[in-house]
Structure 1
Amino acid sequence: MTYEENRYWKNVLTVVPICGAAVATLSYILRLYSRRFTSAGLKLEDWLMGIGLIISYCATAFVVDSAFNGVGLSLGTLPVDERRRIQFASWMIQKFWAPSAAFVKISIVIFLKRILGTVRAFSIVSNILIAFIVCWAVTALLGNTFQCWPVQYYYDKTLDGHCMGGQRSFFQAMGAIALVEDVIILCLPTPIIWGLQITFRQKVAVTLVFSLGGLVCIFSLMRLIEFREFITTDLASSSAKESIWTCLELDVSVICGCLPLMKPLIQGFLGKVKSGVSKGRSHPSSGTKLYAFPSSATHNNEGFLQIDDHLGSQASKGAEIMASDSRRSSDVEMQGIAVHTRIQQDVEPVPTDSTEALSGGPWAR
């Protein structure tokens, strides 16, 4: 039974993380291809997403390494060297989880800010959220690093040291905060989208694109629930499920962060979003765009539409006012032009004694 249990977790912790990392990598490659295809160039959020993906590889590597060192078995049944390696792998996974998640989340927030950042309230909330994510990641990294003193005591119990009290509570607190961040990122663009003057179908389509992040919330919640069974003194038997959810959370966050930028795939899934413009008009319909916000958005060079209600309406009104002023000034100038017409006629003098003149007859020319 011991051999079968070890083989099961060995297969699971090898196949699932590698497949998840492969799909995440493919998603990021398609994202980069989409950038190149649209000639938009790489943006800051693309670099941050790439860094988060690379860091997640490190966490995946240590999860796979733990699969070959008796994970799923009781720690007391393992040799000393395997016991130390599996505890070291658990310690290292914690170091890469928070930084990877932070880079991915900040990348998504910056992308949303690029699309919706012209709304002042959204821009302010986004900046606050980015600062909070940075503080959370630094706190989680430092807490996971120095939870034991000396730090090597976490994976080498032969040393003289100690660990802080409430380790599991600390892990649960960091996981709960991460879940709250995911929920905020998921709900952040919804009020703006549903406040636009667009059709109900367009609102639903755009909301579905942004709601893909709900999958990340599910995996974050599963990871948080698994910490209830997490035993810090027996990581070999209690860390298997937590390691799976950790890898899947990072991989799914990368996938969901890249999907909105893969326009051909998204359009194939959702179909072309129809605009409110009738088909009889000669100009092309804005419904062929991924995010179509008629009369309330402006194009950018990434192929997306940037919401700009306030500035767009002011610019339109300003153009109309300038045109009206121009017409009025032209009328004033035209009124100042005097047209002089002089008619010259040669008239012969009429004799005063002429009977024809007295009778009102025609003048002789």
Structure 2
Amino acid sequence: MAPLTTSARQNLTATIVMLCFAIIMVLTRFSIKLVYRQGFYGPDWFCLMSTAFFTVYCALIINFIFNVSEAHAFDLDIRLGITEMMNILKLSYSTEILFTFGITSVKLSILWFYYNLFSVNPRLRMVIKAVAVTCLIWFLVAIFVIVFQCNPIRAYWEHFALQPWCLESPRVLLGYELTNLFLDVAILCIPAGVVLQLHLQTSKKVTILGIFLLGALVCIASIIRLTAIWNPPDIIQGFNFSFTFIWSTVQLGLAIVCSCLPTFGPLLPLLSKPFPSIRSWYESLKQRFSTSSGLNKTSKASSADRPWARIGGGQHNLTSRTWAEGENNDGSEVALEPMPQRRILVSHDIDIS
């Protein structure tokens, strides 16, 4: 067997490393769910779906390097022969479609996770829904453009030298990647705005933001990919095919990894000694999520259905223990609601002078 070219070795290394890393993270995510007897929900299934697309994506690259390419290369070079060019363009066409399905599944997984986490905030829920709808529209437009960028479709790999047949790939990929980067930045800003409004010490805010903003690694990979796609003044000659593929693989792999990291909360107590602030953040976030879930369930009941008691007035109509037990309330009326487990009820004292 002929030795692998430099581009083939680089792409093979990136593919194997990112595929193994992504699979380990996803298996860890599902193992935690099983060990702690937690159910599997929408974010988990979308993450698993994206991993399936990524696995097929990587399998096509590995198969091309060892079984399809006669030169065991990964270069868009006419000197390798027409057959080699056609095969690598077929690979490019199929992996672009798989990449779009995979990256969209990751985005929806993260947005669904945010929706569950911040469901107590109606305005933030609307923002998350708007971003999710934008992602779906982007997906439909991107798939349409990728599939029908040549007419007929087979012209993508059969008549690549004829400009009237196809759109210029660098221009298509530039628009694709710029809009993809815009959506990634929008998704990153969702938790950042919430964290900045919390009344916490600066060090704790930095810690929390650091965990959420790990997704910025995906944006960095996207920016590096853009530099390979768009290289003026001659964008056709400056298009770095192999380098673009490497960072496409890294980008999708990192997206899957970053979507799994926020679900590793049960592992954080193991780091409590070296990183106590991380554990305290996880505990507060877990309580916040439980509180939001309880509020959503009880907010649907009308005020007429809520039990009331006159504290200090002698009459009590209690359906559950309340925060007012044992306190001196001077006969004020307090709404009593069933208290879900692990729910926090905060009272505020207002002094009107």
Query: TM class by shorter-chain length?
Result: 0.7 to 0.9
Q: Does 1:297 align with 2:288?
A: yes
Percent of aligned pairs sharing the same letter = 19
Say which of 188, 196, 203 aligns to 1:194.
Answer: 196
Q: How far off its partner does 1:132 sit?
A: 0.5
Match of 1:250 in 2: 252
**Cα deviation per residue 1:10-39 (whole Å; 9 max; x = unaligned)?**
211111111101100000000001111222
Q: Does 1:40 align with 2:38?
A: yes
Q: Which moved more, 1:25-34 or 1:56-65?
A: 56-65
**Cα deviation per residue 1:202-253 (whole Å; 9 max; x = unaligned)?**
3222222111101111001111121014999789x83100000000000000
Q: Does 1:144 align with 2:146?
A: yes
Aligned 8 A contact 1:293 1:307 in 2 = no
Q: Which amino acid aligns with 1:290?
A: Y
The 1:309/1:190 distance shift into structure 2, 3 A limit, reads: farther
**Cα deviation per residue 1:315-350 (whole Å; 9 max; x = unaligned)?**
9xxxxx944x1432539xxxxxxxxxxxxxxxxxxx
The 1:298/1:137 distance shift into structure 2, 3 A limit, reads: closer
Aligned 8 A contact 1:273 1:290 in 2 = no
User: Rg: which structure is higher?
Assistant: 1
Aligned 8 A contact 1:34 1:263 in 2 = no
Match of 2:113 in 1: 111
Q: How far off its partner does 1:74 sit?
A: 5.7
Match of 1:216 in 2: 218
Q: CA separation in 1, counterparts of 2:297 and 2:49?
A: 35
The 1:107/1:86 distance shift into structure 2, 3 A limit, reads: same
**Cα deviation per residue 1:172-212 (whole Å; 9 max; x = unaligned)?**
11101111111111111112122223444432222221111
Q: CA separation in 1, counterparts of 2:192 and 2:148?
A: 39
Aligned 8 A contact 1:87 1:155 in 2 = yes
Q: How far off its partner does 1:272 sit?
A: 5.5
SS at match of 2:114: helix
Q: Which amino acid aligns with 2:288?
A: A
Q: CA separation in 2, counterparts of 1:288 and 1:215?
A: 25
Match of 1:357 in 2: none
Q: Which amino acid aligns with 1:12?
A: Q
Q: Does 1:327 align with 2:329?
A: no
Within 5 Å, give how 1:27-106 maps onto structure 2.
Answer: 27-68=25-66, 69=69, 70=71, 71=73, 73=75, 75-106=77-108
Aligned 8 A contact 1:87 1:154 in 2 = yes
Q: CA separation in 1, counterparts of 2:199 and 2:214?
A: 23
Q: Which moved more, 1:14-23 or 1:33-42?
A: 33-42
Q: Which amino acid aligns with 1:254?
A: I
SS at match of 2:158: coil
- More relative contact order, 1 or 2 (CA 8 Å, 6+ apart): 1
The 1:123/1:76 distance shift into structure 2, 3 A limit, reads: same
Residues paired across the two proteins, number = 305
Q: How far off its partner does 1:99 sit?
A: 1.1
Aligned 8 A contact 1:297 1:308 in 2 = no
Aligned 8 A contact 2:106 2:256 in 1 = yes
The 1:44/1:72 distance shift into structure 2, 3 A limit, reads: closer
Aligned 8 A contact 1:150 1:161 in 2 = no
Q: CA separation in 1, counterparts of 2:82 and 2:181?
A: 36
TM score, norm. by length of structure 2 = 0.75
Could you say what the CA RMSD is over the residues aligned between the two structures, in angstroms?
Answer: 3.5
SS at match of 1:292: helix
The 1:310/1:195 distance shift into structure 2, 3 A limit, reads: farther
Q: CA separation in 2, counterparts of 1:16 and 1:125?
A: 35
The 1:100/1:136 distance shift into structure 2, 3 A limit, reads: same
Aligned 8 A contact 1:273 1:292 in 2 = no
Match of 2:326 in 1: none
Aligned 8 A contact 1:17 1:60 in 2 = yes
Which 5+ residue runs of structure 1 have no aligned equivalent? Answer: 276-286, 300-304, 316-320, 332-365
Q: CA separation in 2, counterparts of 1:160 and 1:195?
A: 55
Q: CA separation in 1, counterparts of 2:63 and 2:14?
A: 13
Q: How far off its partner does 1:87 sit?
A: 1.0
Aligned 8 A contact 1:209 1:260 in 2 = yes
Q: CA separation in 2, counterparts of 1:89 and 1:67?
A: 11
Aligned 8 A contact 2:23 2:51 in 1 = yes
SS at match of 2:282: coil
